[in-house]
């Protein structure tokens, strides 16, 4: 009987271990399902965050493009605003020419003074934006910054030097904005 009793005890222990194993496996399966569900919920949350971030970035790109287009469209606004006082001064100068009851000579002098002041204001505004004129008169002719319109004889200005300007040339910063149109000396006149 000792052997049979030992066998029964072993069988009972084995059944007990099998039951515990099945219960543990069921708990592990339940736990794995819970973990899977939690992981899927976490993935859904990350997916939602990624979609929101992508939408935010797309909106940001669109907003930046709109801002860039507006900046390009109105880029000259500041420059043009600076020129409005020059227009005002020209209008005032012209208004001086219309004043009645003033002697024509006085009227002409006032008009000339107004135009001179306006030119000074305009040149100061151009200088603000780093626009400067090409210095040509009396200098050697330079085809890189000057365009010769004609040649004239001169006893004062040496040959191949600029005698006079028809139209001034201008630089914008370090770039040539417009060439100077000049008359070049051909040297002394033939006698």
Rounded CA-CA distance 33/21 in Å is: 18
Q: What is the DSSP letter of 39?
A: H
Q: Are 149 and 132 in contact (CB under 8 A)?
A: no
Q: Which residue has the tokens 């496996």?
A: 25
- Measured in degrees and rounded to the nearest 5, phi and psi for residue 21 equal -65, -45
Instruction: List, in sequence order, every residue forming a beta bridge with 161; answer none if it has no partner.
Output: 140
What domains are defined for the chain?
130-191 (2.30.22.10)
Please identify which residue in the block is written with the tokens 């939408």.
Answer: 55
Q: Which residues pair with 140 in a beta bridge?
A: 161
pLDDT at site 99: 56
The neighbouring-strand residues paired with 187 are: none
The predicted pLDDT at position 161 comes to 93
Under the banding of pLDDT at 50, 70 and 90, the label for residue 3 is low
State pLDDT tens for residues 23-46. Answer: 665 566 668 888 899 999 999 999
- Give residues with Cβ within 8 angstroms of 172, minimum separation 6: 129, 130, 131
Selection from 81, 91, 82, 132 nearest residue 115 by Cα: 91
> 3-state SS of the chain: helix, strand, coil percent to 5?
60, 15, 20
- CA geometry: angle 119, 124, 116, nearest 5 deg: 20
pLDDT for 83: 75
pLDDT in tens, 80-128: 777 777 777 777 777 766 555 556 677 777 778 878 888 888 888 888 8
- DSSP letter at 187? -
Q: How many residues are listed for the chain in this entry?
A: 191
Can you name the residues that pair with 185 across neighbouring β-strands? 152
């Amino acid at each position: 009987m000792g052997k049979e009793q030992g066998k029964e005890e072993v069988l009972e222990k084995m059944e007990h271990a099998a039951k515990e194993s099945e219960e543990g496996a069921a708990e592990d399966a339940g736990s794995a399902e819970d973990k899977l569900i939690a992981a899927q919920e976490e993935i859904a949350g990350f997916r939602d965050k990624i979609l929101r971030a992508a939408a935010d970035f797309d909106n940001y790109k669109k907003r930046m493009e709109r801002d860039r287009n507006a900046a390009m469209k109105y880029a000259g606004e500041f420059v043009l605003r600076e020129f409005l006082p020059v227009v005002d001064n020209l209008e005032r100068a012209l208004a001086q020419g219309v004043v009645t009851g003033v002697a024509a000579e006085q009227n002409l002098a006032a008009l000339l003074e107004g135009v001179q002041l306006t030119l000074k204001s305009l040149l100061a505004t151009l200088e603000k934006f780093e626009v400067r004129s090409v210095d040509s008169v009396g200098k050697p002719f330079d085809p890189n910054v000057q365009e010769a319109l004609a040649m004239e004889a001169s006893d004062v200005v040496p040959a191949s030097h600029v005698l006079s300007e028809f139209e001034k040339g201008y630089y914008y910063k370090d770039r040539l904005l417009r060439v100077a149109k000049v008359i070049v000396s051909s040297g002394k006149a033939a006698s």
